[in-house]
Amino acid sequence: MTLDEITEAFVRESRDILGNDLVGVYLHGSAAMGCFNEKKSDIDLLVVAERELSDETKLRYMDMVVGLNDEAPPKGIEMSVVRQVVCRPFIYPTPFELHFSVTHLDWYRKNPVDYTEKMKGVDKDLAAHFTITLRRGKCLYGKAIPEVFEPVKREFYFDSIRNDVADAENAVSENPVYVILNLCRVLAYGQDGLILSKREGGEWGLANLPGEYHGLITSVLDAYSSDASLVPDDGLAVGFAAYMLERIRDAQ
């Protein structure tokens, strides 16, 4: 199924399962920011509900999400269900009712009851997701974005995106494209207040970071926008991560 087919089915099924409790469904991430790569990007969705979800509803909802995930592009669906009361006024770290990404797929398939009972808590990443939704997101169904979400304070957004790259020196060798582009967009926000996609973050890096890293960033951008894989010089990538984390600490 294509991106549009997945999102249309997701909205239709969400309306059927959540009924009048569904406040809205919102697209964020690369698909909303104009840099979706069907082979490398996930489909990022926020679902806002009026009331707490029952265990029965969670199981039914997760069956729907996993079914659509099986039909989605390779990176699959990443989605969170939150209640409207945590969106306005905004709460940080943000409570969520339910979450799914492909990293949790085996857990759900092996023990769906355990998953739905335990997959509830708080998630710092939601501050970033809410911010992107407000700035660049798309309402797929329901109330308009400004009616549901209020602006996230700088301190919360910056903490959220810093937290996402905190382990960059260890993670960059295994996932260089994700880590390097995220480091660029975190520093772009910390230094210049810019809220960017991964691709835009890399482009900002080429314009603002030392020339010794331009080849690395260019190769990462090429890999991000194509089907190509990337195996960068490990020493250079780790050095870049260390350099960027120091710059990010100075920008806070």
Q: Are residues 93 and 147 in the same domain?
A: yes
Q: What is the mean pLDDT of residues 68-87?
A: 96
| pLDDT tens-digit readout, 96-122 | 999 999 999 999 999 999 999 999 999
Cα–Cα distance for residue pair 29/51, rounded to 1 Å = 25
Task: Let me know whether 104 and 175 are in one domain.
Answer: no
Helix (H, G, I), strand (E, B) or coil at 99: strand
Residue 158 lies inside a defined structural domain of this protein: no
pLDDT in tens, 3-62: 999 999 999 999 999 999 999 999 999 999 999 988 889 999 999 999 999 999 999 999
Q: Of 72, 177, 181, 62, whose CA–CA distance to 112 is shortest?
A: 62
Containing domain of residue 136, as a range? 3-152
CA distances from 33 to 27, 134, 180, 220 (A): 10, 12, 18, 18
Asked whether residue 32 falls in the same domain as residue 111, the answer is: yes
91 and 200 belong to one structural domain: no
State the pLDDT at residue 234.
Answer: 83
Together in a domain, 209 and 128: no
Tell me which of 152, 182, 202 is where a domain ends: 152
Partners of 94 in beta bridges: 123
- Same domain? For 89 and 210 the reply is no
Residue 159 lies in a domain: no
Whether the predicted model's global pTM rises above the 0.75 cut: yes
Kindly tell me if the per-residue pLDDT of 231 is higher than 80. no
> In the chain, pLDDT over 70 holds for what percent of residues?
100
Is a pLDDT exceeding 90 seen at residue 228?
no
Same domain, 224 and 136: no
In a shared domain, residues 105 and 12: yes
b/e 30-68 (16+ beta carbons within 10 angstroms → b): bbbbebbbeebbbbbbbbbbeeebeeebbbbbbebbbeb
pLDDT recorded at residue 4: 96
Total number of domains in the chain: 2
51/78 same-domain check: yes
Give domain status of residue 239, yes or no.
Answer: yes
Q: Which residues, in sequence order, are CB contacts of 48 under 8 Å at separation 6+? A: 22, 23, 24, 25, 26, 81, 82, 83, 84, 87, 142, 143, 148
CATH code of the domain covering residue 108? 3.30.460
Whether residues 243 and 190 share a domain: the answer is yes
Which tokens in the block code for residue 42?
A: 């996930």
Q: Is 109 within a domain? A: yes
Does residue 128 sit in the same domain as residue 238? no
Place of tokens 């104009």: 34
